[in-house]
Amino acid sequence: TMARLSFTKMHGAGNDFVVFHDFPQTSSFSGVPDTSPGTMPLSSLQKYSKFVADRKMGVGCDQVIIVRPSPVPDLDYEMLIFNNDGSQAAMCGNGVRCFSKYILDHGLSCFARSPSSDFPHHGVHTLAGPVHCYPALKHARNSVTNMMVTVNMGPPYVMDLKDEEVVVKELAMTSPREMWSREVQLPGSSVSFKVVCVSMGNPHAVIFLPQGTKVSEYPVEEYGPLLERHEKFPRRANIEFVEVLSLSDVRVRVWERGAGETLACGTGACGVAVACILTDNAGVIDSTTQDRRVNVHMPGGILEIDWKHKENRIYKSGPATEVFRGEMLLPDLKSIQL
């Protein structure tokens, strides 16, 4: 008999997902061995994910998310995530917000609650390590379908510009310019860019456009690929083009490594906010805590980024939106033609 599976279609700032709660016979695939009988091999799950993600033959999404019990004791759930080509992803900032909203909406039990029960906290196990999410229950931008969720994204680092593995340095608000600023010249051209090199676990090269230049009219598709593959970035880089609107707000377009221009990129928004604060281009200061905040406007929506001064962590708040719930029949693997 065919498996009948419930799913929820969601998106985070235009990055869309199909979410399943514990796909049948799913193993952990997270480095924690699963010896229970009848678990589905990773290759089958990848093939199913590719089928589900297909916009013509399946449901259609950028990524498929599976909610599983956590394989480790101190976290609530595990997020398995697969790209629409079937490859497994370690982490997705927009996806983990949807994951957190899904847990809340479906009444799944959580024990990693903070002492005040009206401020739930989800500890999520991912291939990139533990991620902590805080649904912002009283946020002004919440609605029937939309919930703002805050995610602790960890500390910012200096992008590693060497090919060999080196000790990655954490960035602080006071880190000197020579740590993070680079001049990058396009090959065979007189065009050069001042670049802020930041890592949020993945590399970001942030470029501030000259005052008065609109990012919406900027040739991102021309410069993006040239900069992504520039020799200065041995592991390639995500390229962010930034138009400063005010002290509090910037508008950004992102050329993502391996994906081209996207509607929103969570780690990219964090990298941009860090660059804004390091260069003093933007960032509202909280006078008591010295925390800084930047609102990053991307084509898919606005992400609010906070750099907490004392703990040196980046917190990203953004929307998680439910689109619809449905049910699908899971075909026999042999019958999937993709």
The 10s digit of each residue's pLDDT in 18-71 is 999 977 766 655 555 554 555 788 888 999 999 999 999 999 999 999 999 999
Q: pLDDT, tens digit, for every residue of 265-310?
A: 889 999 999 999 999 999 999 999 999 999 999 999 999 999 999 9
Matching residue, tokens 């990848």: 46
Residue 156 CB-density burial (10 A; 0-12 exposed, 13-18 middle, 19+ buried): buried
What is the SS3 assignment for 218? coil
Task: Please answer whether residues 2 and 325 qualify as being in contact, where contact means their C-beta atoms are separated by less than 8 angstroms.
Answer: no
The residues assigned a catalytic role are 92, 265
Q: How many CB atoms within 10 Å of residue 197?
A: 24
Q: Tell me, letter by letter, the H, E, C secondary structure of 105-159.
A: HCCCCCCCCCCCCCCCCEEEEECCEEEEEEECCCCCCCCCCEEEEEEECCCCEEC
Q: How high is the pLDDT of residue 115?
A: 46
Q: How far is the CA of 283 from the CAs of 271, 273, 305, in angstroms?
A: 13, 7, 9
Residue 118 has pLDDT above 70, yes or no: no
**pLDDT for 137-195, tens place per residue?**
999 999 999 999 999 999 999 987 765 445 578 999 999 999 999 999 998 899 999 99
* Angstrom distance (rounded) from CA 322 to CA 332: 28
